[in-house]
Copies of this chain bind each other. A is one copy, B any other.
Amino acid sequence: MTAPVTIPGGITAPRGWLAGGIAAGIKRSGRPDLAMVISDREATAAGVFTTNRVRAAPVILGSEAVRTRPDHMRGILVIAGTANAMTGAEGIADNRAVLAAAESEFGLPPGSLLPACTGVIGPRIPVDRVIRALPSLRSAIAIGPEGGEPAAHAIMTTDTRTKQAACRVRLRDGTVARIGGMAKGSGMIAPHLGPPHATALAFVTTDAQASPAGLARVLEKAAEDTFNMVTIDGDTSTNDTIYLLANGAAGGTPADDDPAFAAGVTAILESLARQVARDGEGATKLLTVHVEGAKSVADARAAARAVAGSTLVKAAVFGADPNVGRIACALGYSGARLDADRIDVALRRPRGSVPLIVHGRPARTVEDGGAIRVRDLLRQLDEVPLDIHLHEGRATATAWGCDLSYAYVQINAAYRT
């Protein structure tokens, strides 16, 4: 198997995929808030969704769609500015209405568009405004970055930048397929155990051919290793959704069980997950926590997530404070099996790591004089990569998070004002 090769672009990098994004007046700010991803032919689809018991209308409708008609999909209609959650039966009807209007506007069969929403929980979709904007959305649809860029912009809420990734993979039968994706997510971001699940919004397209069941297997595994390992604030949203759609435009045989295809989807979701973590609300630094030597994968994941999600670790990273006790503390309450006296933690650097905890004790580097040098180093880094070894077994996992800054509090104390 050859590794995935990064290529420019995002959601429209695969063949036969178009996209567009416009301002439909859903957001008060007037920013872009309506996006469409569309295939020039039928596509198969799979989705993973939030496990939050308060499920937004698009989550209810989207999970029903990928369960009942995963063979006949054409695209995704994304609304940013309102979550369409806590909107009851009216919210379901609203979302059905805008989907039906879009299918009609784009000349697509009924039920061929998947829904997604993100924004404030509570308000309903301004249905008339969305429907009035559909002709403009149709005009905005384009191939390549002219379509993908505006779409990636239009799905943002508190995000400060777009999140896109694309790669090409060589499948077993020699077919070269492309995989592209875009995501949004900055706050209300946390993993939630138990597949199928997802965090934030991420959409992945491919021109490979695959069955809905094959796509679902690939997506569930890839989401587990990527978006499920991102945590920004510990709050699992009502709207989390990842869709994976395959239109087969690259030809070839089904990629269902092709490791190269799975590796490509995982690479795209990992890139998007890192981009989401780096753009966490108020974040100044990306926090990458790699755990080795855990007794099981579940232990490795729990340990990595606990450290990346610890409020106190996040605040220390913001302050460039090598307060390593907080890392040990988070490992201790993570639930992972460990012996406190065997924990090793290091800050990964290109030319040799800096030890932070050695056999469960603070390293010399973080005591007194040494701490000043580590502090200076932490100040300069915009990515803080922690390597943790538990010496209990052979399982590994990586989690992504960000620091906790004043700006996080500011953004969330007055999100709606």
Q: Which residues on B sit within 8 Å (CB–CB) of A52?
A: 329, 332-333
Q: Which residue from chain B places its CB closest to the CB of A338 in the assembled complex?
A: B53
Tell whether, in the assembled complex, residue B414 and residue A321 are in contact, meaning their CB atoms are under 8 Å apart: yes
Contacts A52-B329, A404-B412 supplied; 16 other A-B pairs, CB < 8 Å: A52-B333, A53-B331, A53-B340, A54-B332, A86-B362, A87-B361, A88-B341, A122-B361, A188-B329, A233-B312, A236-B333, A237-B329, A238-B325, A311-B311, A316-B412, A405-B409
A228 within 8 A of B: no
A316 near B413: Cβ-Cβ < 8 Å: yes
Instruction: List 9 A–B pairs whose Cβ atoms lie within 8 Å, in order of A's numbering.
Output: A54-B328, A55-B340, A86-B357, A88-B360, A122-B361, A123-B362, A188-B312, A188-B326, A235-B333
- CB of A239 to closest CB in B, whole Å: 9
A binding-site residues for B, Cβ under 8 Å: 51-55, 83, 85-88, 120-123, 187-188, 190, 192, 233-238, 309-312, 315-316, 318-319, 321, 323-326, 328-333, 336-338, 340-341, 343, 357, 360-362, 366-367, 404-406, 408-410, 412-417
Q: For residue A190, which residues in chain B have a CB less than 8 angstroms away from its CB?
A: 333
Q: Name A362's closest neighbour in chain B (CB-CB).
A: B122
A331 contact from B54, B88, B329, B337, Cβ within 8 A: B54
Asked whether, in the complex, the Cβ of B409 is within 8 Å of the Cβ of A238, the reply is no
Known contacts A53-B332, A88-B361, A408-B409; decide if A122 and B325 are in contact (CB<8 Å).
Answer: yes
**Which residues from chain B contact A333 at a C-beta distance below 8 Å?**
51-53, 190, 192, 235-236
Do A235 and B311 form a contact, CB below 8 Å, given A54-B328, A325-B86, A409-B405? yes
> A331 — nearest CB in chain B belongs to which residue?
B54
In the bound assembly, the distance between CA atoms of A90 and B85 in angstroms comes to 55
Assuming the A-B contacts A187-B312, A235-B312, are A404 and B409 also in contact, with contact meaning beta carbons closer than 8 angstroms in the complex?
yes
Q: A386 to nearest B CB, angstroms?
A: 16
Within the complex, the shortest CB–CB distance from A149 to chain B, in Å, comes to 30
A188: chain B residues at CB < 8 Å are: 312, 326, 329
* Residue from B318, B321, B331 in contact with A417 in the complex, judged by beta carbons closer than 8 Å: B321
By the criterion CB–CB under 8 Å, are B409 and A328 in contact? no
Query: Which B residues are CB-close (under 8 A) to A236?
Result: 329, 332-333
- How far does the alpha carbon of A331 sit from the alpha carbon of B315 in the complex, in Å? 26
Task: Flag if A323 contacts B416 (CB, 8 Å).
Answer: yes
Whole-angstrom distance between the Cβ of A215 and the nearest chain B Cβ:
26
Docked CA distance A326–B187 (Å): 11
Most chain B CB within 10 A, of A52, A233, A312, A413, is at: A413
Contacts of A331 in B (CB 8 A): 53-54
If A88-B361, A121-B325, A361-B86 touch, whether A54 touches B416 (CB-CB below 8 Å) is no
Which residue from B87, B326, B340 sits with its C-beta under 8 Å from A235?
Answer: B326
Given A122-B325, A409-B318: A310 in contact with B362 (beta carbons within 8 A):
no
A87 to B341, CA, bound (A): 9
Let me know if A329 and B122 touch, CB within 8 A: no
Q: How far is the CA of A54 from the CA of B310 in the complex (A)?
A: 15
Q: Name the distance in Å between A238's Cβ and chain B's nearest Cβ.
A: 5
How far, in angstroms, from A404 to B54 measured CA to CA in the complex?
A: 24
4 A-B pairs closest in CB distance: A121-B325, A319-B413, A54-B332, A315-B412
Q: From A282, which residue of chain B is reached at the shortest CB distance?
A: B409
CB distance from A273 to the nearest CB of B (A): 19
Q: Say whether B53 contacts A319, CB under 8 Å.
A: no
Q: Which residues on B sit within 8 Å (CB–CB) of A88?
A: 341, 360-361
A282 to B192, CA, bound (A): 28
Query: A328 touching B121 by the CB < 8 A rule?
Result: yes
A235 to B310, Cβ gap below 8 A?
A: yes
